[in-house]
Amino acid sequence: MTIKPRILVARAIFPDALAKLEESFEVQSNQADQVFTADELRQHLEGVSGALVTGSERIDQNALANAKNLTIAANISVGYNNFDVPAMTSAGVMATNTPDVLTDTTADFGFALMMATARRMTESEHWIRNGHWDKWSIVHNPLGMDLHHTTLGIIGMGRIGQGIAKRGLGFGMNVIYHNRKRLSDADEKACGANYVDKETLLRESDHVVLVVPYSAESHHLIGAKEIALMKPTATLVNIARGGIVDDAALAEALKAKRIFAAGLDVFEGEPKVHPELLKLSNVVLAPHIASATEKTRRAMINLAVRNLRAALAGERPPSLINAELWKK
Using CB under 6 A as the criterion, which residues of the chain lie in contact with ligand 8YV when the complex forms?
54-55, 76-79, 102, 291
Smallest distance from the beta carbon of 250 to ligand 8YV, in angstroms? 19
CA distance 35 to 134: 45
Q: Of 251 and 303, which CB lies nearer to ligand 8YV in the complex structure? A: 303
Smallest distance from the beta carbon of 26 to ligand 8YV, in angstroms? 24
Q: Of 82 and 150, which CB lies nearer to ligand 8YV in the complex structure? A: 82
Smallest distance from the beta carbon of 228 to ligand 8YV, in angstroms? 28
Query: Shortest CA distance to 78 belongs to which of 56, 97, 52?
Result: 97
**DSSP assignment, residue 155?**
E
Contact by Cβ (8 Å): 33, 57 = no
Q: Catalytic residues, which ones?
A: 241, 270, 288
The DSSP code sequence of 264-305 is ES--TTTTS--HHHHT-SSEEE--S-TT--HHHHHHHHHHHH
Residue 104 contacts by C-beta under 8 Å, 6 or more apart in sequence?
163
Residue 126 contacts by C-beta under 8 Å, 6 or more apart in sequence?
281
Smallest distance from the beta carbon of 83 to ligand 8YV, in angstroms? 11
CA distance 219 to 48: 33
Q: Of 111 and 260, which CB lies nearer to ligand 8YV in the complex structure? A: 111
DSSP E strand stretches across the chain: 6-9, 26-29, 50-53, 72-75, 94-96, 151-155, 174-178, 193-195, 207-210, 235-238, 261-264, 283-285
Smallest distance from the beta carbon of 102 to ligand 8YV, in angstroms? 5
Which residues, in sequence order, are bridge partners of residue 66? none
Residue 281 contacts by C-beta under 8 Å, 6 or more apart in sequence?
123, 126
Q: Of 76 and 115, which CB lies nearer to ligand 8YV in the complex structure? A: 76
CA distance 99 to 213: 12
Smallest distance from the beta carbon of 219 to ligand 8YV, in angstroms? 16
Q: Of 142 and 213, which CB lies nearer to ligand 8YV in the complex structure? A: 213
Q: Of 71 and 77, which CB lies nearer to ligand 8YV in the complex structure? A: 77
CA distance 106 to 100: 10
**Phi–psi pair at 217, nearest 5 degrees:** -70, -35
